[in-house]
Structure 1
């Protein structure tokens, strides 16, 4: 969408695509603020869930302002995710990036129809499968003493006490590296075991302690694509591994099931994400594509 649009103009926001019309969406589902009713749009043999929104509120400039505000971004992401999740019930769906916008219904249909083959391949891949997120963090050990005074040494001279303190610091550093190495090996063990059940996996960027808000060092952040019939086996496997001795220094966090956001990038056509027709910023795409 471009700026300087009439205040009365409407744009079409596309949330997701699936096979068949499927069940109606819940009546209480509202979509984005200020938008019209959610509706199902035929796209050849596929169907998309769309919403008319005020074009002036979803121009490139307006979107940049919206998505730069954390609270507004969170509301948009939650609204997008709620629609995609409801649309995917009892039928696999390809979620499109947050704020995928078109100037008209006809342009939306044309762009989506032109990439129907990509959507079909993506739907084949995720059919009957859902996403599970697994995060492994190394539990932080007790902090080392803050100075030689902890041992009675003097920082001004390399006294025996000071040398002992420095030696202990080196030992603690080596111990941290050893604990991290064991945690990495444990994560690799879990990954191999998980892939004996999961159909695919995607390694995601590790989160820093500033993002997680906890004194943990994240070792693994992986999404797994798991068949619905295998989900119980998958969860039971992770529960057993979580209690294994190899994970004594680790925290294993499992969340899901999710719509398989991490496994549809290849199925989301460039035409549906082009700057001419779609105004999803990089920040909004990351937010929409990372539910875990």
Structure 2
């Protein structure tokens, strides 16, 4: 049975020729990374002995062996991150496999134009992530005290007969919750649009739960940006400005990067 190819990413061949790939242990902990040149695109791969690790075996481990999955996912992330610091890279998703070198080359050839366009877009640019967290309890108190819609509702209730006031006051909490979400979205959208001015591209991603972040505050926003290398300092400076302005109101900001450009490149 022939070996499987594990694909980490694709880089421009001219960059691959300028500096050699360092010696790095591959996915199975035995083989080493190496390159396969496909014209002006070079693939970074390692071999997986399919006698020891069949596709079915790998699928079973991904679904049922969390310790193995975490170890291998970390290996993939660290390897792609290392490569991204050396070359312009189109990173591949975890556990992207090919059954043969011919199959890999055919896939690269059929996407050649798209890859060249992606390399041009990514060269000299970096992916950065911004996560915004909010202390809902603290912000809720502020909204309750200063929101015009809530003040208007309280005034409206105070003018009602005593009997109706009791039932209407129960609606205040619902209104506060609604206005809290409106305020969170307003601020996050404002920050996102302002930071997009410093970036080439920006997009919003799904928020993570507390079980993933390990934080007490809720994640209010999760976004990624593609930023020119010479604009990164401006981006970070703008994030720090928001930190200083909004920290006392229960907000916190986490900017991290540069990361492999998973969100601004794709390869099937």
Scaled by the length of structure 2, the TM-score of the pair is: 0.80
1:185 correspondence with 2:180: no
The correspondence of residues 1-292 of structure 1 with structure 2, limited to 5 A, is: 6=1, 9-19=2-12, 20=14, 21=16, 22-27=18-23, 29-68=24-63, 69-141=65-137, 167=169, 171-245=172-246, 248-265=249-266, 268=267, 270=268
Counterpart-to-counterpart distance in 2, 1:106 and 1:134: 40
Cα shift at 1:122 = 1.1
Cα shift at 1:165 = 11
Spell out, residue by residue over 1:195-219, the C-alpha distance to the aligned partner (whole angstroms, 9 max, x if none). Answer: 1111001211122233333333322
Q: Between 76-85 and 120-129, report the one with greater CA deviation.
A: 76-85
**In 2 relative to 1, CA 111–35 (structure 1 residues): closer, same or farther, beyond 3 Å?**
farther
Scaled by the length of structure 1, the TM-score of the pair is: 0.74
Contact in 2 for aligned 1:41/1:49 (Cα 8 Å): yes
Counterpart-to-counterpart distance in 1, 2:246 and 2:205: 26
Q: Which runs of 5+ in 1 are unaligned?
A: 1-5, 145-159, 271-292
Q: The residue matched to 1:134 in structure 2 has which SS?
A: strand
Counterpart-to-counterpart distance in 2, 1:44 and 1:173: 61
Counterpart-to-counterpart distance in 2, 1:212 and 1:260: 21
Cα shift at 1:170 = 5.0
**In 2 relative to 1, CA 191–247 (structure 1 residues): closer, same or farther, beyond 3 Å?**
farther
Match of 2:146 in 1: none
Q: Which runs of 5+ in 2 are unaligned?
A: 142-161
Q: The residue matched to 2:206 in structure 1 has which SS?
A: coil
| RMSD, aligned α-carbons | 2.6
**In 2 relative to 1, CA 25–247 (structure 1 residues): closer, same or farther, beyond 3 Å?**
farther
Q: Between 75-84 and 208-217, report the one with greater CA deviation.
A: 208-217
Q: Between 114-123 and 82-91, report the one with greater CA deviation.
A: 82-91
Q: The residue matched to 1:221 in structure 2 has which SS?
A: strand
Contact in 2 for aligned 1:140/1:215 (Cα 8 Å): no
